[in-house]
């Protein structure tokens, strides 16, 4: 499947193999999704990695062949999401549990394994991992790519719904032999919530990252000043409170105060953008600044990052968003390009403030966003936009992160 959520798991499986931990992946046969990217599966070709695909009870089974579905308008997507969270706990993948356990036990009975590793969301995965541990006695490592109970994309219809999620999370962390999170905020929240059965040493941070091999293989040379307009790139999608509205307001102001600069910049959107966001640019009379490229497979997305003069991102404001460490940020870092981040104080802002070539701006500071665009445009005209030195990028290389994880796994089994 495509989009950024698959990257962490794919790259860990890829490089854990190279660190002495070959894996078998238990997953589904995807029938419908917002994007598919066949280039990703090729990355594990030639490695000792088996992929077991199951056919769970799922509405997607209505499609006999693989089908890509476009993002609905935001209000429809949100409505369907809320209804799903009313009915399905912990998520709408829960009907996979029975088939996953059956297939998992079949595999675990056929050959020896050293441990189990579950990664979520979807949080159903952790329930599967926990049950397989109970049946086999194998150590269980659980990986939180997002917070569970504090996830800003979760909507709890009643206190009872939230209580059910709490007890499911508690059962998972109690049964886990090692817990991984992507950042400090998620770690501290999990420990605080279950302080009677957890301490900080039992939860390890394994950051999100980027794959240097992607840039070496798919990257193209950056030639500053090679285009008539300054190229700003955004990769990904918008939903919930993560919207492009802060940038839109700044561009509307820019067009009024600096019309020449406005005419010399273009914002390339690499990914699905819902109609209401496109219509919003029309209402603000800033449509001329945007070029839409729809979803791109990962190699092409890497090429776009390499061709960019500057990158930008926007994160939502509100409870739970302080725990988000979106994957695109780390590929932005891997590109070495300057990043304008429109986000309040959170894990992403703290990370990027440590990068010498990035600027973090509160989304409500419209004039400051405008001024940053003007200042960076001036640097662009003199080929002076700062690039991030490699020493700032290396800690987030997927290969290094997988090596760190392999050491944790070795210690868990007392192999070091």
72-131 pLDDT, tens per residue?
677 787 788 889 889 999 998 898 999 999 999 999 999 999 999 999 999 999 999 999
Taking each continuous run of H as one helix and of E as one strand, the counts in the chain are 17, 14
Residues in the chain: 416
pLDDT at 60 over 60: no
Band of pLDDT at residue 59, cut at 50, 70 and 90: low
Which residues lie below 8 Å from residue 56, measured CB to CB, with a gap of 6+? 28, 93, 95, 96, 99, 100
Band of pLDDT at residue 396, cut at 50, 70 and 90: very high
Q: What percent of the chain has pLDDT over 90?
A: 69
pLDDT given at position 411 = 94
> What is the maximum alpha-carbon separation in the chain?
69
Query: What is the mean predicted confidence (pLDDT) over 307-324?
Result: 84
Which residues lie below 8 Å from residue 122, measured CB to CB, with a gap of 6+? 90, 91, 92, 93
Could you give the CA distance from residue 44 to residue 301 in angstroms, rounded to a whole number? 19
Residue 68: phi and psi, rounded to 5, are -90, 130
DSSP 29-53: ---EES---HHHHGGGTTSS-EEEE
CA distances from 102 to 39, 134, 171, 249 (A): 30, 14, 21, 53
Band of pLDDT at residue 347, cut at 50, 70 and 90: confident
Output 201 or 65, whichever has higher pLDDT. Answer: 201
pLDDT given at position 72 = 64
How many Cβ atoms from other residues are within 10 Å of residue 5's Cβ?
Answer: 14
The pairing of strands 116-120 and 67-68 is unpaired
The pair of three-digit structure tokens given for residue 123, joined into one six-digit string: 């949080």
CA distances from 304 to 60, 219, 266, 325, 379 (A): 32, 9, 13, 21, 20
Output 32 or 158, whichever has higher pLDDT. Answer: 158
The pTM of this model reads 0.91
The pair of three-digit structure tokens given for residue 314, joined into one six-digit string: 């926007």
- Going 56 to 59 to 65 to 66, the CA torsion angle's sign is negative
Query: What is the mean predicted confidence (pLDDT) over 137-148?
Result: 95
Estimate to the nearest angstrom the gap between the alpha carbon of 85 and the chain centroid: 21
Band of pLDDT at residue 56, cut at 50, 70 and 90: low
Could you give the CA distance from residue 364 to residue 17 in angstroms, rounded to a whole number? 45
Which residues lie below 8 Å from residue 129, measured CB to CB, with a gap of 6+? 116, 117, 118, 140, 142, 172
How many Cβ atoms from other residues are within 10 Å of residue 364's Cβ?
Answer: 12
The pair of three-digit structure tokens given for residue 297, joined into one six-digit string: 């497979």
Residue 25: phi and psi, rounded to 5, are -105, 125
What would the pLDDT profile of 165-194 be if each residue is shown by its tens digit? 999 999 999 999 999 999 999 999 999 999
pLDDT at 360 over 60: yes
What would the pLDDT profile of 100-111 be if each residue is shown by its tens digit? 999 999 999 999
pLDDT given at position 161 = 93
Cis previous bond, 90, omega within 30: yes
pLDDT given at position 6 = 86
Query: What is the mean predicted confidence (pLDDT) over 141-160?
Result: 91
Band of pLDDT at residue 57, cut at 50, 70 and 90: low
How many Cβ atoms from other residues are within 10 Å of residue 72's Cβ?
Answer: 16
pLDDT at 154 over 80: yes
Could you give the CA distance from residue 48 to residue 248 in angstroms, rounded to a whole number? 47
pLDDT given at position 48 = 84
Estimate to the nearest angstrom the gap between the alpha carbon of 254 and the chain centroid: 31
């Amino acid at each position: 499947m495509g989009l950024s959520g698959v990257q962490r798991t794919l790259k860990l499986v890829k490089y854990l193999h190279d660190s002495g931990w070959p894996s078998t992946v238990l997953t589904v046969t995807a029938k419908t999704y917002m994007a598919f990217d066949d280039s990703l599966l090729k990355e594990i070709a030639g490695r000792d990695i088996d992929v077991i695909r199951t056919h769970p009870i799922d509405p997607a089974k209505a499609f006999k062949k693989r089908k890509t579905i476009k993002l609905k308008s935001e209000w429809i997507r949100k409505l369907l999401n809320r209804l799903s969270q009313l009915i399905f706990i912990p998520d709408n993948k829960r009907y996979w549990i029975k088939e996953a356990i059956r297939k998992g036990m079949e595999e675990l009975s056929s050959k020896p394994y050293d441990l189990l590793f579950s990664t979520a969301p979807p949080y159903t995965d952790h329930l599967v991992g926990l049950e397989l541990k109970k049946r086999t006695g194998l150590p269980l490592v659980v990986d939180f790519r997002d917070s569970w109970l504090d996830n800003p994309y979760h909507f709890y219809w009643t206190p009872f719904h939230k209580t059910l999620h709490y007890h499911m999370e508690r059962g998972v962390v109690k049964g886990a032999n090692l817990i991984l999170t992507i950042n400090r905020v998620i770690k501290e929240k999990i420990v605080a919530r279950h302080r009677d059965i957890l301490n900080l040493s039992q939860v390890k941070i394994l950051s999100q990252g980027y794959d240097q091999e992607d840039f070496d293989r798919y990257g193209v040379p950056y030639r500053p000043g090679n285009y008539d307009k300054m190229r700003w790139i955004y990769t990904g999608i918008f939903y919930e409170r993560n919207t492009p509205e802060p940038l839109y307001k700044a561009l509307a102001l820019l067009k009024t105060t600096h019309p020449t600069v406005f005419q010399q910049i273009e914002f390339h959107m690499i990914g699905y953008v819902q109609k209401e966001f496109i219509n919003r640019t029309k209402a603000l009379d800033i449509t001329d600044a945007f070029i839409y490229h729809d979803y791109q497979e990962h190699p092409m997305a890497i090429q776009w990052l390499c061709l960019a003069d500057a990158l930008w991102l926007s994160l939502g404001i509100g409870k739970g968003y302080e725990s988000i460490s979106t994957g695109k940020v780390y590929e932005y870092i891997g590109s070495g390009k300057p990043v304008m981040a429109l986000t309040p104080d959170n894990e992403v802002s703290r990370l990027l403030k440590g990068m010498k070539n990035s600027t973090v701006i509160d989304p409500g500071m419209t004039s400051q966003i405008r001024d940053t665009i003007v200042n960076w445009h001036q640097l662009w005209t003199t080929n002076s936009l700062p690039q991030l030195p490699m020493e700032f990028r290396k800690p987030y290389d997927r290969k290094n992160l997988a090596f760190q994880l392999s050491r944790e796994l070795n210690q868990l089994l007392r192999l070091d």
